[in-house]
Amino acid sequence: MVERRYWDSDCFLGRLQEEPDKADKCGDVLTLCERGELEIVTSALTIAEVLMLRPKDALPEERRAKVEALFAKKFIHTITLTRRIAESARDLVWDHGIAPKDAGHVASAIAAKADVLNTFDRALIGKSTQAGDSLVIEEPSVPEPELDLE
């Protein structure tokens, strides 16, 4: 079975903006996806979230094709934010102190049965394994290959 990872908007933005501390890590994960070893799931809301840069500048129109091409990849799947997922997110805010937007991503990852939620958000990473069937929250990474020393 193929590993399923959830990406929040920060992962997509890191790749789209070629942020030095994020682009390579995200690129390594995308390479595994291209090989069929992983798939990425994200909330459909992420498609709109990635259009707003920090601190509140819109992603330039000339990046439109790049954004559309990334989300069109066959290994990137979206999950709809349903009322049930939104209510789960609300409970994550109340029960675990997760910020509302982040809680939407965590609840979506749980609903999508993701193995891991990838983000660069330090506060959210600090909530790893505290919510939803011990969902691991960590930065994007690829496993190191095992060396056969025999």
Instruction: Determine the structural domain holding residue 44 and report its residue range.
Output: 3-138
Residue 148 located in a structural domain? no
pLDDT of residue 118: 97
State both tokens at 22.
């994020």
pLDDT of residue 24: 92
Residue 144 located in a structural domain? no
SS3 82: coil
pLDDT of residue 27: 93
CATH classification of the domain holding 127 = 3.40.50.1010
State both tokens at 3.
């590993």
Alpha-carbon gap, residue 11 to 26, rounded angstroms: 7
Which residue numbers in the chain have pLDDT < 50? none
pLDDT of residue 43: 97
pTM for this one? Answer: 0.89
Q: Judge whether 126 and 11 are in contact, CB under 8 Å.
A: no
Residue 145 located in a structural domain? no
Residue 92 located in a structural domain? yes
Residue 150 located in a structural domain? no
Number of domains in the chain: 1
